[in-house]
Amino acid sequence: MSVCEPFPPLVIQYQGPCLAGVDEVGRGPLAGSVVAAAVILDPQCPIDGLGDSKALSEKRRQELAGQIRECALAYAIAEASAAEIDEINIYHATHLAMRRAIDALEIAAEYLLVDGNCLPGHHVPGQAVIKGDARHPAIGAASILAKVTRDAQMVALHERYPEYGFARHKGYSTPEHLAALERHGPLTEHRRSFAPVRRQFELF
């Protein structure tokens, strides 16, 4: 395997029209929901530039998100809340959000391509694809929709609580965010089961 080809070519065990790419955003932040998306692309309406949402500029993500909503055969976005993350842990909450997105598709998926190394426990068959958002356009599309949605949620949270800086760090554990937690205490949107937040709940 060459240095320029870290993964072998992706072999998909399904060739029908109802393949859904699935991805999530927001496993690591200290606040907010984990957001998942499922997308069934239309081969008759290709979209150039789909890929890992983190590698794209915010402007490009917004442009592609609009094209995905316009061109996809079906798409759905779902989430698991901070409270659900605290109740069942982030791993299970991520899979819960994915299953909700799959179930919300207006066209039933027949096969799933899921970013990561495991499937979310849905009855629809599929395969997990490591770095899938960069390796298959349907997963890339799901990654983009999930990130655009979650970033918008963080901007809205920033408007309610500007002192925390959510629009800048999107809930991740940056020095700015940790300092705001120490100064102002945690919000209900914070994940109590995450250690930096748990410590602040014990203090306030």
- Where in the sequence is the domain holding 107, given as residue range(s)? 19-159
DSSP secondary structure letter of residue 130:
T
Count of structural domains, the chain = 1
What gap in Å lies between CA 174 and CA 16, rounded to an integer? Answer: 43
CATH code for position 112: 3.30.420.10
Structure tokens at 23: 């991805």
Partners of 114 in the β-ladder: 22, 128
Residue 79 lies in a domain: yes
Residue 37 lies in a domain: yes
74 close to 110: Cβ distance less than 8 angstroms: no
For the whole prediction, is pTM greater than 0.75? yes
Residue 179 lies in a domain: no
Residue 193 lies in a domain: no
Nearest to 116 by CA among 137, 94, 100: 94
Residue 198 lies in a domain: no
Going residue by residue through the chain (204 aa), what tens digit of pLDDT does each one get? Answer: 334 456 788 999 899 999 999 999 999 999 999 999 999 999 999 999 998 898 999 999 999 999 999 999 999 999 999 999 999 999 999 999 999 999 999 999 999 999 999 999 999 999 999 999 999 999 999 999 999 999 999 999 999 999 999 999 999 999 999 999 999 999 999 999 999 999 988 876
100 close to 146: Cβ distance less than 8 angstroms: no
